[in-house]
Amino acid sequence: MNPDIRRERENASFDVDKLTNILNGGPEKTKRRREIEALVFSDPDFREEDPNFLSRSERYDQAVRKSAQMILKLREYGIADPEEIYFYKSCVHPGRPSPLDLHLAMFLPTLLNQATPEQMERFFMPTWNLEIIGTYAQTEMGHGTHLRGLETTATFDPATQEFVLNTPTVSSIKWWPGGLGKTSNHAIVIAQLYSLGNCHGLHAFIVPVRDMTTHEPMPGIVVGDIGPKFGFNEVDNGFLKLENVRIPRENMLMKYAKLEPDGTYVKPPSSKLTYGTMVFVRSMIVSESAQALAKSCTIAIRYSAVRHQSEIQLGEPEPQILDYQTQQYKLFPLLATAYAFTFIGQYMTQTYHRISGDISEGDFSELPELHALSAGLKAFTTWETNSAIEVCRMSCGGHGYSRSSALPDIYVEFTPTCTYEGENTVMMLQTARYLVKSYRQAEAGQRLGGIVSYLNESQDRRLQPQAVAARPSVVDINDLSSLVEVYKQRAALLVEMAAKSIQQELQNRKSQEDAWNNSAIDLVRASDAHCHYVVVKVFTDKLGEVGDTAVHSVLSALALLYAMHGITKNSGDFLQAGLLSVPQVLQVSIRIKELLSQLRPNAVALVDAFDIHDKKLNSVLGRYDGNVYEQMFEWARRSPLNATEVHESFHKYLKPLRSKL
């Protein structure tokens, strides 16, 4: 092991394993996670060539091979718990989505949720046994976020008892579904249902897209890969053009809505039933943000402990770059964020399970809050993580740009989370809609419960933009609960400002919709402040559960850094609202520097606690043993351009050039 990184570990002030258990949700979880990792990483069937050395087609090929193996092994080992399947998969395809993801995570669950018993009879076993390989085709070239705008049609033909499916325009071609291009032979197609001349809105249809024996496209179907992307190179995101494709009436998923043989449409009993999945997926993305950021911090901080550069003291040995204040200021707030997001991810998962328990008992009361929270936190955490990964990458100097660092891959595989499952700005506006609605309820005298209950207080206190001069003095910037309070008041104020902007626009005779659009900047800002408050609060609450003194101490420093860093980055908000005074903001800057020094000796141990297996990290810079340079050289020598000593282009172009000049 590299002596620098060994010394870092020796100097840690807390027991790393204890913290790992907290992050995993208990020692049992840590144990089981390590078991699954050992299972996958010791399995020769999952050995792979570094995808960075392969062509797109070879990458896809390798991913299909491993996915097929994975299906076999999961059954062999009897791994059936969804969480464990998910984790197993994340080891088989470390950090990368795979061609069968939509089959497992969308096609199969949609069947389970929306198929009638008869349909289950027909489709379930073939799907389970991979005779049917499915995907979920919703997004079109011209429509993503705004589902009502989808143009694909499924028109019922009573004469033949069939639906006729069409993508009538170029913009209606299905676009993006994972696994659609080359892998799937079936798709659940979301289309506007027409029957007897009426449109009944969007419904789901099972459409065979390729022949189950030959895998050739079915008649009327044009299907293929949408081409290379930023990341997702293992996945054949596809397009699907439908030209009078006929499927039996029984291929419409009819557990809820129905179409009778005579063309009569029967409405579903409730529209809220599909809400849950969306909330669940967004909660998962919050945890994925934490994971991506934990990986990036692990790489950047370990590398900063072994990389030496420049001089602080002339003539002295070059210091570890982790000793530079600027490097600490780049990385430690992100480390704190990785912890904050891990805890908010846990919180979201717990809240989801609690509320979905209520829902299954018919209690939908907390669903709107959960929906708003998951939308906002999905946007908040993915945006933060997205830019944070790049800060980590650039903090590694030139080597961060090498694919061997893994940081470019972490970025390109993560960044789509800002757009899929709900575009982030749209998500923030959905959260804002809930906040403004709650604000108005409070204004109308209703007592709010749950996480927005702070909007009652703002009514009670009647906050003004220039706040009471006396308030700042009561804030103790070294006290986390005091900081939670100022974050809360900031959120309350920004929600109020957004609501008032809408009101102002309405008074200027704007329509409700224009008033909303003309206040959108304020609305996004309010949602952002709300989410920020929730994250600071949950991190602070989490400290109350930590018994071990040493762990508690280092986590408290991280929580304080997270809260204080957010204040300096948004100091205008806090000053504008009169929540903090100018001297307090200056004090916060000074305290941040102290916290950086305080966290410095524990930095490596704090990333070690994420306990990310070297094979999962797959980074030359982030290796546990710190032997960076030797491995980088070894990796480079395997680069395909080094397969021959002299590249053919020398003989083809460079040598002949001489005689022409």
Report the residue from 220, 224, 263, 601 that binds a second copy according to the rule CB under 8 A: 224
Whole-number Cα distances in Å, 302 to 325, 396, 405, 435:
16, 10, 12, 41
Interior CA angle at 146 toward 145 and 150, to 5°?
A: 110
Q: Among 25, 158, 217, 263, indicate the residue that binds a second copy (CB under 8 A).
A: 217
Which one of the spans 88-96, 278-286, 366-374, 403-411 is the region binding a second copy (CB under 8 A)? 403-411
* Beta strands 186-195; 162-166: pairing state: unpaired
> Is 228 among the residues that bind a second copy (CB under 8 A)?
yes
Residues 608-637 that bind a second copy (CB under 8 A): 629-630, 632-633, 635-637
Q: Nearest distance from residue 140's CB to a second copy, in Å? A: 10
Report residue 389 as tokens: 């990964």
Q: Which of 15, 84, 390, 541 binds a second copy (CB under 8 A)?
A: 390
- In angstroms, the CA 292 to CA 411 distance is 8
Q: Is residue 169 marked as binding? A: no
Binding mask 557-586 for a second copy (x = CB under 8 A): -----------x-xxxxxxx-x---x--xx
CA 471 to CA 458: how far, in whole Å? 14
Q: Is 412 exposed, middle or buried (0-12, 13-18, 19+ CB in 10 A)?
A: middle
**Interactions with a second copy, residue window 94-133 (CB under 8 A):** 128-131, 133
Q: Which residues pair with 203 in a beta bridge?
A: 191
Contact between 270 and a second copy by CB under 8 A: the answer reads no
String marking each residue 5-44 x if it binds a second copy according to CB under 8 A? ----------------------------------------
Q: Does 658 bind a second copy (CB under 8 A)?
A: yes
Neighbours of 89 (CB within 10 A): 21
Smaller CB distance to a second copy: residue 254 or 588?
Answer: 588
Instruction: Look at residue 494 and give its three-state secondary structure.
Output: helix
139 lies in the site for a second copy, by CB under 8 A: yes
Number of residues that bind a second copy (CB under 8 A): 144
Distance of CA 616 to the CA centre of its chain: 17
263 near a second copy, rule: CB under 8 A: no
Return d(Cα 146, Cα 139) in angstroms, integer.
Answer: 9
Distance, in Å, from the CA atom of 431 to the CA atom of 437, rounded to the nearest integer, reads 10
Is 415 a binding residue for a second copy by CB under 8 A? The answer is yes
CA angle 38, 42, 46 (to 5 degrees): 115
When asked if residue 166 is in the footprint of a second copy (CB under 8 A), the reply is no
According to the binding rule CB under 8 A, does residue 168 interact with a second copy?
A: no
Nearer to a second copy, 310 or 549 (CB): 310
Give the span between the Cα atoms of 451 and 428, in whole angstroms: 16
Nearer to a second copy, 324 or 624 (CB): 324
Three-state DSSP at 302 gives helix
- Asked if 216 interacts with a second copy (CB under 8 A), we say yes
Q: State the binding string over 291-320 for a second copy (x if CB under 8 A, else -).
A: ----------------xxxxxxxx---x--
Torsion sign (Cα): 33, 536, 430, 428:
negative
Chosen residue from 45, 261, 521, 615 binding a second copy by CB under 8 A: 521
Strand-pair partners of 136: 188
The reply to whether 469 sits near a second copy by the rule CB under 8 A is no
For residue 556, list its beta bridge partners. Answer: none
CB 134 within 8 A of CB 124: no
Instruction: Say whether 421 is catalytic.
Output: yes
Q: Is 42 helix (H, G, I), strand (E, B) or coil?
A: coil
Task: Identify the three-state secondary structure at position 11.
Answer: coil
Site stretch for a second copy (CB under 8 A), options 444-452, 514-522, 527-535, 549-557: 514-522
Contact map string, positions 320 to 359, toward a second copy, x by CB under 8 A: ---xxxxx-xx-----------------------------
Q: What end-to-end distance do the CA atoms of the chain give, in Å?
A: 54
Question: Do 54 and 62 touch, CB atoms closer than 8 A?
Answer: yes
Binding string, residues 45-64; x marks residues near a second copy by CB under 8 A: -------xx-xxx--xx--x
| Element containing residue 656 per DSSP (H, E) | helix 655-660
Q: Which of 151, 384, 413, 421 is catalytic?
A: 421
Q: Which 179-198 residues touch a second copy, going by CB under 8 A? A: 181-183
Smallest separation (angstroms) from a second copy to the CB of 92: 14
Asked if residue 178 belongs to a known ligand binding site, the reply is yes
Residue 406's alpha-carbon distances to 54, 268, 350, in angstroms, are 15, 47, 31
Q: Is 429 in the site for a second copy (CB under 8 A)?
A: yes
Detail the residues annotated as belonging to a binding site: 139, 178
Catalytic residue numbers, as ranges? 421
User: Which residues are known binding-site members for FAD?
Assistant: 139, 178
